[in-house]
Chain A
């Protein structure tokens, strides 16, 4: 922060700048105070609710959930279940991302665009539950069942984002490359894909946030391990403390992947772009 400033710090800074900086610092501190207050109040209300309003067996408090986590960790199945769920997400979302991106690229052609338009709308508006049960009833416990469910709920998100990017393509560049006889493949490789990169990242982040939820839902119905399976088992035997521990640990993990890992990756990818790295 200091290194990017052009002026030497200290004496040269005017009174106005000082005032603005101080104000910003105060605002920042204020924000953090309120944020922490928010955490404390919500957690306290939760803890309070779980013994007085609802029985602790029904609504375990945050302290109880925190204590249950080591038990599950020692049980040794945590990584196994995480791995199972992540494998499902990886395969299902990976495939639907490829297909969704292809469909998004197809929208450059008007005929294919209108061919896929209704399928995309249906996929965007229908609940994942329908596809989870339909896939299950067609293919049973075979992988195709859950792949189908994840595919039907996420491919449209990817293709919508990609086609949004295509709509914003630099038309003049494309026209010029066409005029100079650049092949269709090279046009995709050197103009379309680099331009689309930010849209692709948005698609991955959005798609992932939907994909893990659908994956967990499919595991409830058709799996013998994974987070969804654990949710079903623990809720069926009324072990709500374990239920919440499973949910929240995976929830935190998914948010971490979504917000931190993908974000880091994206920042790295766009390092060459001056305006993004400055922001």
Chain B
């Protein structure tokens, strides 16, 4: 970067401000929603459907839901979108906690012992590959339409990912570091805190992420088929009521929730959890273990930043 190499970009002749604005990455990003809404209107105008609605009606619906001015009451339940969301989040957190605890235990055992690994491996893979729909239909029949069926579905959807990630983490612990720490007489507690946990962190973090996002998808499907409350049930309710704005609006709530979870919560958390990484320059061996992704990510960001700097 600082070597002063002239890249081809600097030779490109300058164009007018409008062309530059159109070429900017941010413009492209903002054009996507515009494009989607345009296509939506085109479908609305060309399709002969009595129940399909244009985007502004969905927006109205979502606003009415958020301000508690819904046109329809939720059947006999008499509830609102916040309560339904609360129920779903309660189920999600319960399922998440259980699958994290159980999955970590099983994953640790599988990582440490080859026999345990051989014992569980195929079944974990089978549960991982099973569609959430099956859990939803089956558990709904077994446990009735209460909290149990969706929570179990959430656990079953999320736990294989926790197990697999924790197992990989245990397998990837730097053995030389353990040996060295022991040779220098470092107390066990300190080894656990300073060697084992940091090396497990990336895998554990991936486990959290998967347990949340896959568990959320499984939970929503289970709520459609095996529950009488929650967000999954809500989307099914609007679907049965032939209210397109309800289906798409609730679907958008799902998507927004998942995006917020992914982008805001997890990325913040990841940044905080791995803040120590770039500063760990004095511990070269540890650094080498993790050199892989921070450099790629950092390089990617730097490219985008420089590109936007040139264009805007």
Contacts and interface: CB of A to CB of B under 8 A. Distances in A.
B247 A134 contact: yes
B133 interface: yes
Contact of A119 (B23, B32, B141, B221): B32
A110 B258 contact: no
Contacts of B175: none
B26 interface: yes
Contacts of B119: 34-35, 37-38, 41
A91 interface: no
B201 to A, nearest CB: 23
Interface in A116-145: 116-119, 121-122, 125-131, 133-134, 136-140
B47 A58 contact: no
Interface in A12-39: 27, 30-35, 37-39
A114 B254 contact: no
B118 A138 contact: no
Contacts, number: 147
Contacts of A131: 251
B217 A138 contact: no
A217 interface: yes
Contacts of B221: 127-129, 217
Interface in A189-230: 209, 212-213, 216-217, 220, 228
Size bin of chain B's contact surface: 35 or more
A59 interface: yes
A265 interface: no
Size bin of chain A's contact surface: 35 or more
A54 B142 contact: yes
B186 interface: no
Nearest to A232: B137
Given A122-B255, A137-B244, A35 B122 contact: yes
Given A54-B142, A118-B33, A129-B224, A35 B26 contact: no
Interface stretch (A2-10, A68-76, A235-243): A235-243
B79 interface: no
A258 B251 CA distance: 30
B8 to A, nearest CB: 10
B122 A125 contact: no
Contact of B141 (A38, A140, A235): A235
B235 A116 contact: no
A118 B29 contact: yes
A114 B52 contact: no
A216 B133 contact: yes
B129 A251 contact: yes
Given A126-B258, A130-B251, A115 B224 contact: no
Contact of A32 (B33, B51, B118, B141): B118
A161 to B, nearest CB: 15
Interface in B136-181: 137-138, 141-142
A138 B49 contact: yes
B255 A126 contact: yes
A272 interface: no
Nearest to B142: A58
A115 B32 contact: yes
A111 interface: yes
A247 interface: yes
A31 B114 contact: yes
A261 interface: no
A30 B239 CA distance: 53
A98 interface: no
Given A35-B121, A42-B123, A114-B28, A127 B134 contact: no
Interface string B251-273: 10011001101110000000000
Contacts of A247: 130, 134
Contact of A133 (B43, B49, B118, B251): B251
A49 to B, nearest CB: 11
A255 interface: yes
Contacts of B239: 133, 136-137
Interface in B190-236: 213, 216-217, 220-221, 224, 232, 235
Contacts of B217: 127-129
Interface in A125-172: 125-131, 133-134, 136-140, 167
B216 A127 contact: yes
17 contacts: A30-B115, A34-B115, A34-B118, A35-B119, A35-B121, A121-B262, A121-B263, A130-B254, A133-B235, A136-B239, A140-B49, A167-B300, A217-B133, A231-B134, A240-B138, A251-B126, A251-B130
Given A31-B118, A243-B138, 5 more contacts: A34-B118, A110-B25, A110-B307, A130-B251, A228-B133
A-B complex: 8 closest residue pairs judged by Cβ atoms: A130-B251, A34-B118, A38-B119, A114-B25, A213-B131, A115-B28, A125-B258, A127-B217
Interface of A: 27, 30-35, 37-39, 41-42, 54, 58-59, 110-119, 121-122, 125-131, 133-134, 136-140, 167, 209, 212-213, 216-217, 220, 228, 231-232, 235, 238, 240, 243-244, 247, 251, 254-255, 258
Interface of B: 23, 25-26, 28-29, 31-33, 36, 43, 47, 49, 51-52, 114-116, 118-123, 126, 129-134, 137-138, 141-142, 213, 216-217, 220-221, 224, 232, 235, 239, 244, 247-248, 251, 254-255, 258-259, 261-263, 296, 300, 307
